Amino acid sequence: MSFLDKAKDIATQAKDKATELAGDLAEKAGPLAEKAGELAGKAGEYAAQGVTAAAERIDKATDGKYHDQITNVSSKVEDALGPKDPK
């Protein structure tokens, strides 16, 4: 067997092993991606709660002087975080 034949065999074995590993990773990636989506949805909910709390405190600290502006900005931030009900 020549050097090139040995190199081809090694390359084929490496390709087969990489394909096998890629398949295993693809099987594991699906559930992980689903879980990540769930966690991201929860993070958005918590962030929206924080925006609401901050807006209320700022509004109180300014004695309502900037209520409309604060409400406008907080609404836009909450909208950017996504829907309140991810279902």
- What would the pLDDT profile of 64-80 be if each residue is shown by its tens digit? 999 999 999 999 988 88
pLDDT at 6 (0 to 100): 87
> Left if phi > 0, otherwise alpha if psi is -120 to 50, otherwise beta: which for 2?
beta
Instruction: Please state, in angstroms and rounded to a whole number, the distance separating the CA atoms of residues 83 and 79.
Output: 7
- What would the pLDDT profile of 23-82 be if each residue is shown by its tens digit? 888 888 888 888 888 888 788 888 888 999 999 999 999 999 999 999 999 999 888 887
Whether pLDDT at 85 is above 80: no
